[in-house]
Structure 1
Amino acid sequence: MTIKHIFKLYFLVFVFSCNNDLHLSKIEGERIEIDAAIASDSDIENFIKPYRENVNKNLDSVISYAPDTYSKSDGEFNTAIGNLMADAVFEESNPIFNKRTGKTIDLVLLNYGGIRSIISQGNIKIRTAFEVMPFENSVVVVAIKGQQVLQMMDYLSKDKRAHPVSKHLQLSLNKNSEVTKATISGKPIDKGTTYYVATNDYLYNGGDRMDFFHPNDSFYVLDYKIRNVLIDYFKRKDTIRPKRDNRYIKLED
């Protein structure tokens, strides 16, 4: 157990006048080490036990199956686990966004660093979603012009990491890491067109130096945590089958 320091403060005060004014005279500190030698409180343990058991039972509920192990280190520009996350955000969030606004998400962009664990071969549990996405990040949708989307493509080409993007994007780089092709749903990105990009609140607020979300035409909060997106997505899939593809590639010729 980690050692913590607890200070017991002893205040010695004296009365210096008849109006009972109190004055701090001295402060003493004493260090008490908390370690495994200190016995746990059985009453507290007994109180917590049923709650802990219920939480663990829920976290260990099997909701899908992974035929292989998926890691964010499996590819240079796109990975199976990253593709799964971006596509899951689209599939689970777009119906909500469409119902509220009548509009459709054009593209999903998440961040490489937001993937915090592998998905291991075998049963996928609710706990898996908490391991992959332990943060409280939520889905937001931003309406930005095509010029800013092109800035996003430039960012991706220079950052050289497998930031998860949805399958609607086709981004190709040449051997010098310059953008040679950038399309959304098969169409070239138009500078004057407004695109609806789903991302997380961390990136929207400038995380990972992604500053192309500002200014924007509009901003929508879906109140939908990425972790819950994954849980809902897994529950809809008896078996997940994510794979690397050509959505974001670098050509060496």
Structure 2
Amino acid sequence: MTSRPTVPTITLNNGVEIPQLGFGVFQVPDEETTAAVTHALEAGYRSVDTAAIYGNEAGVGKALAASGLAREELFVTTKLWNADQGYDSTLRAFDRSLAALGLDHVDLYLIHWPAPARDLYLDSWRAIETLVADGRVRAAGVSNFQPAHLTRLLDHSDLVPAVNQIELHPGLQQRTLRELHAAHGIATEAWSPLAQGAVLADPLLRELADRHDRSPAQVVLRWHLQLGNVVIPKSVTPARIRENLDVFGFSLTEEEMAAVSGLDADLRTGPHPDTLD
């Protein structure tokens, strides 16, 4: 039997520990999600990241229930969708997510996008503060918040987000945002950590992959981990699911890290947070 890798954890600013490498299910249909999450849990993942808008919280919940794993071994993240922002509607949306997942709490609940034209994220955050106080959310965070959104939130609440989950990969490194996170003890979590494959043909990454006898994807994930990012690669292919977790048996040198950091090109694969509502 293959030994499962031990994934390191990062301690969030409220003392909760999050596995540094988790499993994402963005764009995975609900009927395929249960199998994908089951493969991930069998491979050794213990953190699963979903969202209300993905439409697959129920599929995640089925895999978690069937896994036989104790709830305290699992770290489950879901997210509040833009149309559900506002104080009361956030509480209702959270109840729907919890019911779909079949859980009595989540480990991390995120405001999915700031949706600035709606201007409701401060009200949504107040609702999430209530959920934290009630013990239904272990850690509260945001996703896709730009410096201006994050600063405004910090100015209006005593609860500092534990996480900001943002698009982050060698082609879009978000240094200003990462510096702001570091100044406030906010963990940086990378979605689309491989730029949906867009960076994997880069000659530098191919060279480093050959040097370490790894895939370009493994090199990029290793770069994230050494930067201190939390990372949530997505795949529905069992072999790729295992490969993405097999990134703890090698490390990049300082020179190699710096070389990858030189690939920043403002390459955004998803929407811009200032304009998505």
What TM-score do the two structures reach when normalised by structure 1? Answer: 0.22
Which has a greater percent of strand?
1
TM-score, normalization by structure 2:
0.21
